[in-house]
Amino acid sequence: MLCKHCGTEIADKAIICYRCGAGTTDPVRQPAPARRARNPLLSFVTIVLLLLLALYMGQASRTAGNANTLQTAAGVVAGVAVLLLILRIVRRR
């Protein structure tokens, strides 16, 4: 049998060509399509903005009349930012 790629004479039962390394048969499985990578900068900017918003709301709660509401909202926003950071780290592994 002749190699499809380089034309070298190879054994009939050969799996690959000994000269060029090309396979003698077509692959059984097709490779999975590559996923498009997400931009890490977008998630980083989102986390930083959420943390800045939480800091601002915490600072504003010191002078506002409804301090408990702003402190609670600041805590929730900070929690969401930390959760996004954890998910980003876990997804990267």
Work out the mean pLDDT of the chain and round it to a whole number.
84
**Residue 47: Cβ-neighbour burial (10 angstroms; 0-12, 13-18, 19+):** middle
| Residues present in the chain in total | 93
Domain ranges of the chain: 1-28, 40-92
* pLDDT surpassing 70 at residue 93: no
CA 18, CA 40: separation in Å to the nearest integer? 44
CA 77, CA 88: separation in Å to the nearest integer? 17
- Kindly report the pTM of this predicted structure: 0.51
Token output for 26: 């077509």
Residues 57, 78: contact at Cβ < 8 Å? Answer: no
